[in-house]
Structure 1
Amino acid sequence: MTQTVADIARALGADVLGDGGVVVSGLAEPSMAGPDDLALAMSKRYADALTASAAQAAVVWADADWQALGLQAAIVVPRPRLAMSVLTQMMDKPLVGQGIHPSAVIDPAAKIGANVTIGPFCVIGADAVIGQDTLLAELVSIGAGVQIGAQGILHPGVRIGRDVVIGDHVILQPNVVIGADGFSFVTAMPSIAETGRRTLGKTPFEAIDDATQHRIHSLGSVVLGDHVEIGANSTVDAGTIRPTRIGSGTKIDNLVQVGHNVIVGENCLLCAQTAVAGSAVIGDRSILGGKSGVADNITIGSDCLLGGAAIVLGDTPRGQFMMGYPAKPMLAFRAEQRSLRNEAKDAGRRKLVSKPNDDT
């Protein structure tokens, strides 16, 4: 998408240095930037690559000598990553709706809003409601009774279970599954999982007479708020009786599992391979790092940060930075790690001192 440097600077709330009339048609890293690209050189470490490139315009760091870098125009931004949000939105190619494809199968009782796009081989169930300007790419299936708000984007292969409610401006990446049954089973007599929790494994487990796993059906479905985004191949399971809920503004990465009855607050981030077990509660604005895990039936307060691979096994108060397994406050975790390293060093020294001398 073609833009002048002046238009881009205006959108960023920044000043133009040099010729604001320079036209660019794409974004590029400095080492790959051509004359029609806006080079993204927001740190001094890109200086050499930018100088060697054919770029005429760039977003540069605060004290950059843009003329010495061989540029005709430059933009300086105070918060580069926020600028990336604006820039990528401006330069992205919008998805263009194509109406309803003839191969789509739409139940007569479904309600389709104005300007909705329904791609090839989509299936829309009875009493489903699709809000205006929403786009369903190819091979999307929408269960009976689903409600989807306005201006959403459902990418190829998305599967929405029955009675799911989805807000406005929701983006679901390829192969997202919302509203599948939760992983919920029970045996007639207490299982080893139940016994283990009660006894803490103090005695060996005994086989139970009937280990048949009886399914507990998921009747509660899922509710997604407005402006939720969910990454490719992630799943949000239906609640058992009440719905699983994802708050407005929350963003979920690829390969994330959210279990049944979970409540995730507003404006949270759940990074790749995070797993949240059933009936857990995540407070507003909390961030769960990659490969982190949350045990079932516990509460994590608002404004918490879980480091990568942290495993939370108990309730966590508001505003905590948790790391490790089992997760503990970051300062305590680092102190523990230092102590372990020092202990290992001391053990190594003792081993060297006690080693027999080969010459004796």
Structure 2
Amino acid sequence: MPHTIRDIALALGAEAAGDLDLTVARAAEPQAAGPGDLALAMDPRYADGIAKGQAQAAMLWPGADWQAMGLKAAIFAPRGRLAMAGLTRLMDPGPDIDAGVHGMAIVHPSAVIGSGAAIGPFVTIGAGVVIGPNARIASHTSIAEGARIGADCLILHGARIGARVTIGDRFICQPGAVIGADGFSFVTPEKSGVEEIRETLGSRADIKDQSWTRIHSLGAVTIGDDVEIGANVCVDRGTIRDTEIGPGTKLDNLVHIGHNVQIGRDCLLCGQVGIAGSARIGDRVVLGGQCGVNDNIFVGNDVICGGATKIFTNAPAGRVLLGYPAVKMETHVEIQKALRRLPRLATRVAALEKGVPFAPEAE
């Protein structure tokens, strides 16, 4: 649906100028924008693109001379990416799921479906499931027995919600995610090679045959309000107590959360992050892509980790970490500088050795 410049500015809490009744149907990059598009140029670096496109209206940085750009209207965004969040929310139509329960969905008679819910085709909902009001569940999703889904949730195609999983309000789940699979937990009848290595830090006695005995997962998963789960995320259920994800936390695609993990509120976990079993993550933690967190350790509040950082020990609150293994950011920078100097240092050492007579060690 088209939106007027006035309505968009009001929704964003932003200032606007020019013809506020002008309508736009979609957002576009400046150079690709047509007459019915809102060009996005919230930084002066993108201003040149407006002349290359055909936009009549644009979202610009405060103080921009929109009339000199040949525009009929402009919206001013002091914080561009925040304005993008509001604009995309306003213009995103979401998935097309008809209201009510589709005739090709299978809903157990004991399940409770909240008012205004939309359940797509080929969805299966198990015994005792509770679906909150205005939830939207896309096709080929399965929700196992005893699960509870909050209000205003959006669960997209092919997601799998396991038994007894509890999810808060306004949850968003991207396609293919699996929430509530069994944890990866096994034990050997005798002390395993892994246990021995952990104790000795490398030494091994006699290597013997060993087989793995499964530890079943009796817990489930508890997820707070306003959590988002990316495509193909896997969240394992707890062994005895639930795996927990706090309110406001966002998980990118291909993130894996092991059994018994506890994640605080408002965390951001980027693609391919892996958190091993029983680790605890504080509030507002940011883990860049491919970060790894060892089992049974604690990452404090407000820790920020750059991409591919591997955390093997407890991380104090507020620490900024980089590297493998994780070290403070400033230490990592010094290490990298030293590594780059190594070839030159090796050359200097070799030159010095040529002028020093070789003295064999005394026996």
Number of matched residues? 353
Alignment of 1:28-39 (within 5 A): 28-39=28-39
Could you tell me which residue of structure 2 aligns to residue 358 of structure 1? none
Distance 1:298 1:27, change over 3 A: same
Alignment of 1:39-188 (within 5 A): 39-95=39-95, 96-188=97-189
Q: Distance in 2 between matches of 1:186 and 1:350?
A: 50
- Comparing 221-230 with 109-118, greater Cα deviation is found at 109-118
8 Å CA contact 2:99, 2:118 repeated in 1: yes
Amino acid at match of 2:8: I
Which whole-Å deviations, capped at 9, do the CAs of 1:97-129 have from their partners, x for residues lacking one?
Answer: 331111211111111111221111111111111
8 Å CA contact 2:245, 2:262 repeated in 1: yes
Secondary structure at the aligned position of 1:219 is classed as coil
8 Å CA contact 1:192, 1:205 repeated in 2: no
Q: Distance in 1 between matches of 2:10 and 2:344?
A: 57
Distance 1:352 1:138, change over 3 A: farther
Distance 1:25 1:107, change over 3 A: same
Could you tell me which residue of structure 2 aligns to residue 308 of structure 1? 307
8 Å CA contact 2:197, 2:204 repeated in 1: no
- Comparing 135-144 with 39-48, greater Cα deviation is found at 39-48
**Equivalent pairs: percent with the same residue?**
51
Could you tell me which residue of structure 2 aligns to residue 15 of structure 1? 15
Amino acid at match of 1:31: Q
Q: Distance in 1 between matches of 2:351 and 2:20?
A: 68
Kindly indicate whether residue 258 of structure 2 is the aligned counterpart of residue 262 of structure 1: no
Could you tell me which residue of structure 2 aligns to residue 206 of structure 1? 206
RMSD: 1.7
Could you tell me which residue of structure 1 aligns to residue 359 of structure 2? none
Q: Distance in 2 between matches of 1:353 and 1:165?
A: 68
Q: Distance in 2 between matches of 1:61 and 1:155?
A: 35
Which whole-Å deviations, capped at 9, do the CAs of 1:199-239 have from their partners, x for residues lacking one?
Answer: 000x2453224x11100000111001011100000010000
Note the C-alpha offset of 1:353: 9.7
Distance 1:76 1:345, change over 3 A: farther
Which whole-Å deviations, capped at 9, do the CAs of 1:1-32 have from their partners, x for residues lacking one?
Answer: 31111221122222212222211110001111
Q: Distance in 1 between matches of 2:261 and 2:26?
A: 41
Distance 1:205 1:27, change over 3 A: farther
Q: Distance in 1 between matches of 2:85 and 2:130?
A: 31
Note the C-alpha offset of 1:167: 0.7
Note the C-alpha offset of 1:351: 6.6
Note the C-alpha offset of 1:290: 0.4
Could you tell me which residue of structure 1 aligns to residue 295 of structure 2? 296
- Comparing 342-351 with 293-302, greater Cα deviation is found at 342-351
8 Å CA contact 2:132, 2:151 repeated in 1: yes
Could you tell me which residue of structure 2 aligns to residue 246 of structure 1? 245
Secondary structure at the aligned position of 1:21 is classed as coil
Which whole-Å deviations, capped at 9, do the CAs of 1:216-266 have from their partners, x for residues lacking one?
Answer: 000111001011100000010000000000001100000000000000000
Note the C-alpha offset of 1:153: 0.8
Could you tell me which residue of structure 2 aligns to residue 215 of structure 1? 214
Which whole-Å deviations, capped at 9, do the CAs of 1:294-339 have from their partners, x for residues lacking one?
Answer: 0000000011101000000000110011000000110111111112
Distance 1:235 1:346, change over 3 A: same
Structure 1's unaligned 5+ residue stretches are 356-360
Note the C-alpha offset of 1:63: 3.8
8 Å CA contact 2:31, 2:51 repeated in 1: no
Kindly indicate whether residue 239 of structure 2 is the aligned counterpart of residue 236 of structure 1: no
Note the C-alpha offset of 1:44: 1.8
Q: Distance in 2 between matches of 1:226 and 1:52?
A: 43
Note the C-alpha offset of 1:344: 3.1
8 Å CA contact 2:321, 2:328 repeated in 1: yes
Amino acid at match of 2:44: K
8 Å CA contact 2:196, 2:204 repeated in 1: no
Could you tell me which residue of structure 2 aligns to residue 6 of structure 1? 6
Q: Distance in 1 between matches of 2:343 and 2:12?
A: 52
Q: Distance in 1 between matches of 2:18 and 2:212?
A: 71
TM-score (norm 1): 0.94
Q: Distance in 1 between matches of 2:151 and 2:206?
A: 55
Which whole-Å deviations, capped at 9, do the CAs of 1:55-77 have from their partners, x for residues lacking one?
Answer: 00111123422122111111221
Could you tell me which residue of structure 1 aligns to residue 198 of structure 2? 197
Q: Distance in 2 between matches of 1:35 and 1:354?
A: 73
Q: Distance in 1 between matches of 2:93 and 2:109?
A: 33
